[in-house]
Amino acid sequence: MASKDLRFFDNPDAPLLPDGHPRRGMSVVAAFSVRLVHTNRRRGGAWTQRYEHGIPVTGLTPISDDGTTGTVVHFLPHEHLVRSSEDLAGELVKLRARWGMLSVEVDDRRSP
């Protein structure tokens, strides 16, 4: 999450994402986020890690295994990168439609 995914970053043959942009890796999301929490659940173990501006501020912290598997990423993008919540929500819904396994929830806590 904190380093470039060298399989894709600056690779002219990087696969395109459903939105047409080249794949870069989650390190880009982490770098553009004020904070990001990445939680990974696998068979036999689960852990979480927190980042601020792309830098890990905690180690991998084991968490209780709840029997599920999957990855959850909560992030707060830098305020200069966010347009209106309606625009953002609409774009995320479009991405979700292209990736059936992706679920998206927008929790906009900015004051009106």
- Strands 45-52 and 61-62 turn out to be antiparallel
Q: Give residue 42's pLDDT band: very low, low, confident or very high (50, 70, 90).
A: very high
pLDDT at 44 over 80: yes
For the chain, the three-class secondary structure string (H helix, E strand, C coil) is: CCCCCCCCCCCCCCCECCCCCECCCHHHHHHCEEEEEEEEEECCEEEEEEEECCEECCCCEECCCCCCCEEEEEEEECHHHCCCHHHHHHHHHHHHHHCCCCCCCCCCCCCC
* 51-92 tens-digit pLDDT: 998 888 999 999 998 889 998 888 888 877 766 656 667 777
Gap between the terminal Cα atoms of the chain: 32
| Beta-ladder partners of 38 | 49, 73
Residue at 10: amino acid letter:
D
pLDDT at 4 over 70: no
